[in-house]
Amino acid sequence: MTTAWDFSATALDGTDRQLADYRGQVALVVNTASQCGFTPQYGPLQDLYDTYAPRGFVVLGFPCDQFGHQEPGTEAEIADFCESSFGVQFPMFAKVEVNGANAHPLYSWLKQEKKGILGGAIKWNFTKFLVDQQGNVVKRYGSTTKPQDIASDIETLLDSSN
């Protein structure tokens, strides 16, 4: 059975990362953009990371330029923006596509596991997938779901590992 931990992705710094490195943690996988109306969610995402990382939680950010050309920057520009504007410390990856023939394999799998309002397709930036410690997709949240509103679901998963 495939899990999120079976995939790899390129980090913003160009290094290949095995998502298996996050096995045993609860993860929130988010497609992000620097020039989106939902961009301020970076702050609450970082707050979730700060709060729950000591308990085994990670946010995995995947910049995407497929929606309104809202992530036009290079990986270096994205890294600088995230750090200087929101103090982002959680893992960020290189730009990916989340829909269509060139969608990153992780996103093809995530969408198959939990469909949304448009079926498998992702509607917009800051769609979120909550993944349990074993790499299974537990829940999908739309762009309008505020990160802080996911806290109770994260706590439930973290508590289930005790």
Could you give the residue numbers annotated as active site? 36
* DSSP string across the chain: ---GGG-EEEBTTS-EEEGGGGTTSEEEEEEE-TTSTTGGGHHHHHHHHHHHGGGTEEEEEEE--TTTT---S-HHHHHHHHHHHH---S-BB-----SSTT--HHHHHHHHHS-BTBBTB--STT-EEEE-TTS-EEEEE-TTS-GGGGHHHHHHHHHHT-
Is residue 45 within 8 Å of residue 141, measured between CB atoms? no
Per the DSSP assignment, residues forming a β-bridge with 18 are 8
* C-beta atoms surrounding 100 within 10 Å: 10
